[in-house]
């Protein structure tokens, strides 16, 4: 039975008991490593957990869960620590930090990879690329595989290979009661359905098994156009990508050209519109595919060419180091109407700082071959996941980036499909979470009630357990 000791009352002996059970480290506020260990990727969020367990193995995860339960303290799960809302940590609680768990095993014959939950996308790319294989994931390689996968996972290979969850074959998990389970198409099918988009609500995934794809080199990179051409570019982008094969992917962006090489000096610091392309078809056809894109315009910057997948999937890492201030808003879009384009341009032109940006990520192609109720990810009819991020190194600019982000969102939201990708949301309340899961929400609350009836895992985009019927 739980002893219900409040955080401040956690006795040294109880903490010592936990420490003795761990192979990994236990970090407390008085430890030298605490300040570094509590830092999140988003510098705008400043949480002070009571305890951080740096898990080395599955038994550490179990011990931490049992400790959290026994003492009724809030528990947060951390993989890469990238979450915009800072949901990889909690004030006065226990952080179960999986980042030391980085084992990776590639089965080149089966084209699969099994990864522990502390891996970053870059760790996985490095291992799979050696075998000429790739996992569809995200665009910044320091992101954790845990959070991105459980929320869905969108990136350069989405149109060709689907979301990250569409390539998930199995997850090994520890549930809220401390038991170990496997979720896949045969075992715990309801759980397997829920974790493909339902976030960290149902248990802690300690390892994932993914399907890989034989993609080693692609024809990809950014193309920019002047701001004055934004409307033509957005209209061209809308029409051209609608008829393109799944081999062609391109996310649209308003951005400020970074003030560094390899960008030409005359463009540095200028706000532009652009598309970051990725063509995964036969290399000898690439020039032909890009001919109409290059003829339209022409672009003021064209860095599109042959590139290895890991280089593409880490291309923008250097501009987004950890610790910047981030404010996030997001939506899904089924279409880009002319009226919506007007609003996108109105706020795109006002991009407030060098790191701030708006992206429209394609979520169609192969991702549309899965039905809305086949996984928890509901928006299978959306063509784009939009994200607006106000970003800056200086905390003094918090208000500036936050208000631009909110104004942009308020102007474009009326043209959206309703909900947003949960991995792009801040703490925006239950209505937004319900709008995101739509018709899948009810089933998620039932599965939550089965696997985590006390809502032990609630530091997340929370799905509340369905109340037991009277």
Ligand X SMILES: Cc1cc2nc3c(=O)[nH]c(=O)nc-3n(C[C@H](O)[C@H](O)[C@H](O)COP(=O)(O)OP(=O)(O)OC[C@H]3O[C@@H](n4cnc5c(N)ncnc54)[C@H](O)[C@@H]3O)c2cc1C
Contact positions toward ligand X, by CB under 6 A? 41, 76-84, 87-88, 98, 117, 138-140, 143-144, 146-148, 150-151, 153-155, 199-200, 204-205, 320, 423, 459-460
- Of residues 172 and 247, the one with the C-beta less far from ligand X: 172
Q: How far is the CB of 147 from ligand X (least distance, A)?
A: 2
CB of 275 to ligand X, least distance (A): 15
CB 19 to ligand X: min, Å? 22
What's the closest the beta carbon of residue 9 comes to ligand X, in angstroms?
Answer: 26
Q: Which is nearer to ligand X, 249 or 441 (CB)?
A: 249
148-to-198, 275, 405 alpha-carbon distances in Å: 11, 22, 22
Q: Let me know how long the chain is.
A: 470
Residue closer to ligand X by CB (options 254, 284) is 254
Please identify, using beta-carbon distances, which residue of 153 and 250 lies nearer to ligand X: 153
Cβ closer to ligand X: 43 or 243?
Answer: 43
Least distance (Å) from ligand X to the CB of residue 292? 27
Which tokens in the block code for residue 5?
Answer: 């000791």
Nearer to ligand X, 5 or 311 (CB): 311
- Shortest CB 1 distance to ligand X, Å: 26
- Cα dihedral 287, 288, 290, 294 in deg (nearest 10): 90
Task: Take residue 171 and report the two structure tokens written for it.
Answer: 């997850």
CA distance 124 to 104: 7
Q: Omega before 298 cis (within 30°)? A: yes
User: Cβ of residue 63: shortest distance to ligand X, in angstroms?
Assistant: 16
What's the rounded Cα separation, in Å, for the pair 78 and 26?
14
| Residue 391: CB minimum distance to ligand X, A | 9
- With 0-12 CB in 10 A as exposed, 13-18 as middle and 19+ as buried, what is 340? buried
CB of 276 to ligand X, least distance (A): 11
Q: Helix (H, G, I), strand (E, B), or coil: what is residue 207?
A: strand
* Closer to ligand X by Cβ: residue 65 or 273: 65
Q: How far apart, in whole angstroms, are the C-alpha atoms of residue 407 and residue 426?
A: 15
Can you read off the two tokens belonging to residue 207? 């390892």
116 or 247: CB nearest ligand X: 116
> Tokens at residue 38, please?
């509590």
User: What Cα–Cα distance (Å) separates residue 443 from each residue in 110, 114, 182?
Assistant: 33, 28, 20
Distance of CA 376 to the CA centre of its chain: 15
**What letter would DSSP give residue 349?**
T
Residue 441: Cβ within 10 Å count = 18
Q: Which residue is nearest to ligand X (CB)?
A: 147
Nearer to ligand X, 84 or 352 (CB): 84
What does the alpha-carbon distance between residue 363 and residue 241 come to, in Å, rounded to a whole number?
Answer: 12
Going by C-alpha positions, the residue among 124, 109, 100 that lies closest to residue 25 is 100
- Tokens at residue 249, please? 């992917």
């Amino acid at each position: 039975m739980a002893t219900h000791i409040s955080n401040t009352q956690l006795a040294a002996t109880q903490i010592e008991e936990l420490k003795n059970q761990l192979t990994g480290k236990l970090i407390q506020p008085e430890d030298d490593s605490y300040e570094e260990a509590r830092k999140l990727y988003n510098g705008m969020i400043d949480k002070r957990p009571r305890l951080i367990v740096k898990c080395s193995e599955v038994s550490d995860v179990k011990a931490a869960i049992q400790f959290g339960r026994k003492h009724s303290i809030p528990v947060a799960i951390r993989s890469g620590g990238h979450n915009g809302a800072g949901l990889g940590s909690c004030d006065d609680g226990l952080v179960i930090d999986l980042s030391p768990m980085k084992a990776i095993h590639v089965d080149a014959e089966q084209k699969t990879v099994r990864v522990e939950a502390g891996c970053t996308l870059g760790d996985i790319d490095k291992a799979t690329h050696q075998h000429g294989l790739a996992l569809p994931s995200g665009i910044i390689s320091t992101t954790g595989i845990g959070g991105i996968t459980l929320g869905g996972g969108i990136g350069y290979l989405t149109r060709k290979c689907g979301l990250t969850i569409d390539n998930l074959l199995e997850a090994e998990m520890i549930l809220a009661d401390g038991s170990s389970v496997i979720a896949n198409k045969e075992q715990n099918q309801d759980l397997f359905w829920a974790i493909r988009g339902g976030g960290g609500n149902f248990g802690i995934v300690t390892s994932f098994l993914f399907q890989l794809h034989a993609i080693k080199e692609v024809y990809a990179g950014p193309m920019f156009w002047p701001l004055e051409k934004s409307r033509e570019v957005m209209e061209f982008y809308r029409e051209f990508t609608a008829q393109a094969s799944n081999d062609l992917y391109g996310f649209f962006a308003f951005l400020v050209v970074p003030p560094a090489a390899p960008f030409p000096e005359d463009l540095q610091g200028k706000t532009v519109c652009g598309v970051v392309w990725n063509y995964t078809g036969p290399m000898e056809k690439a020039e032909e595919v890009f001919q109409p894109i290059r003829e339209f315009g022409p672009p003021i910057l064209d860095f599109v060419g042959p590139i290895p997948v890991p280089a593409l999937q880490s291309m923008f890492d250097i501009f987004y180091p950890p610790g910047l201030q981030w404010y996030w808003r997001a939506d899904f879009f089924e279409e880009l109407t002319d009226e919506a384009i007007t609003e996108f341009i109105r706020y795109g032109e006002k991009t407030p700082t060098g790191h701030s940006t708006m992206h429209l990520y394609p979520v169609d192609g192969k991702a549309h071959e899965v039905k809305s109720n086949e996984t928890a990810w509901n928006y299978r009819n959306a063509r784009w996941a939009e994200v607006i991020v106000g970003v800056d190194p200086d905390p003094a600019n918090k208000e500036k980036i936050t208000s631009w982000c909110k104004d942009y969102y308020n102007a474009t939201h009326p043209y959206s499909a309703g909900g947003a990708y949960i991995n792009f949301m801040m703490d925006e309340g239950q209505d937004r979470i319900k709008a995101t899961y739509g018709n899948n929400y009810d089933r998620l609350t039932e599965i939550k009630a089965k696997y985590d009836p006390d809502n032990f895992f609630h530091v997340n985009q929370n799905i509340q357990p369905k109340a037991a019927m009277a």
